[in-house]
């Protein structure tokens, strides 16, 4: 696992502290950091802890650019299921971020990332099927930013977010090409449900069937809680 750092934490609170330390350090080193931002459940305690640190004046995100990782298709801007809305509520607004890149059109999005000079940091969760963003298996290393149909596994895992609402079948995702080109990648993994796929990600073959396995080619930091690894 060349270039891979695995940090184990006893519980989700420890994960949030360690991930906040990592992200804060990156922002202190490069205040105009460009960050690809996962939503989903895993990073939420981390984002809450970062917001606390911003509030306490311990770190300053005002020059950071937050880049959207993925979105559903066919929903209105004010739809409660909008991942743009989720990213704004959980990350952009509480951290005082004013610069954002929204994911709507693949070509414009990739051009915007090029204009930024690439991504400095990708904060990622791990799909139960090994997806990154909505790069569903199989996704090759050079899979571009694109629209796609979600797999049954992702429709099922995303159901946990929206209660009675249905999960949209179509999605758009930042490509594997952009994620794997980020200067640093941070993969956050929590809970026993992710144990099998985390081992496959770090120890199995690098394969499009487990898109996250390609992260081993990047400067990857994995922060996992004990339930997700042992």
Could you say whether residue 168 binds ligand F6R (CB under 6 A)?
A: no
Instruction: Work out which of 12, 40, 130, 168 binds ligand F6R, going by CB under 6 A.
Output: 40
- Given candidates 9, 24, 39, 185, which one binds ligand F6R under the rule CB under 6 A? 39
Minimum CB–partner distance for residue 57 and ligand F6R (Å): 29
Q: Of 49, 71, 120, 129, which residue is the catalytic one? A: 129
The C-alpha angle with vertex 86 and arms to 85 and 91, in degrees rounded to 5, equals 105
Among positions 12, 45, 125, 168, the unique one binding ligand F6R when judged by CB under 6 A: 125
For the record, the structure tokens of 165 come out as: 């609402």
- Specify the residue, 66 or 69, whose C-beta has the smaller distance to ligand F6R: 69
The answer to whether 68 contacts ligand F6R (rule: CB under 6 A) is: no
Cβ atoms within 10 Å, residue 200 = 17
Residue nearest to ligand F6R (CB): 125
**Can you say how many angstroms the Cα of residue 229 is from the centroid of all Cα atoms in its chain?**
19
Question: Does residue number 42 form part of the binding site for ligand F6R (CB under 6 A)?
Answer: yes
Closer by beta carbon to ligand F6R, 24 or else 39: 39
Contact window for ligand F6R (CB under 6 A) among 5-13, 14-22, 123-131, 163-171: 123-131
Has 199 been annotated as catalytic?
A: no
Positions marked catalytic: 70, 129, 131, 136
Q: Which residues bind ligand F6R (CB under 6 A)?
A: 38-42, 69-70, 83, 125-127, 131, 133, 157
């Amino acid at each position: 696992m060349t270039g891979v750092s695995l940090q184990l934490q006893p519980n989700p609170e420890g994960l949030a502290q360690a991930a906040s330390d990592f992200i804060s350090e990156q922002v202190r080193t490069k205040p105009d950091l460009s960050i690809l931002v996962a939503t989903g459940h895993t990073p939420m305690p981390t984002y809450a802890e970062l917001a606390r640190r911003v509030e306490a004046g311990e770190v300053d995100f005002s020059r950071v650019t937050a880049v959207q990782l993925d979105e559903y298709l066919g929903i209105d801007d004010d739809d409660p299921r909008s991942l743009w809305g989720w990213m704004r509520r959980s990350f952009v607004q509480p951290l005082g971020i004013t610069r954002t890149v929204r994911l709507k059109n693949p070509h414009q999005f990739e051009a915007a990332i090029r204009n930024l000079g690439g991504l400095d940091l990708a904060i990622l969760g791990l799909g139960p099927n090994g997806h990154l963003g909505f790069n569903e298996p199989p996704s090759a290393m050079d899979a571009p930013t694109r629209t796609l149909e979600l797999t049954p596994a992702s429709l099922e895992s995303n159901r946990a977010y929206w209660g009675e609402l249905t999960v949209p079948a179509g999605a758009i995702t930042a490509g594997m090409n952009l994620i794997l080109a980020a200067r640093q990648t941070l993969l956050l993994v929590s809970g026993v449900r992710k144990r099998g796929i985390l081992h496959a990600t770090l120890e199995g073959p690098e394969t499009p069937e487990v898109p996250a396995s390609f992260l081993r080619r990047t400067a990857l930091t994995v922060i996992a809680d004990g339930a997700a690894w042992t």
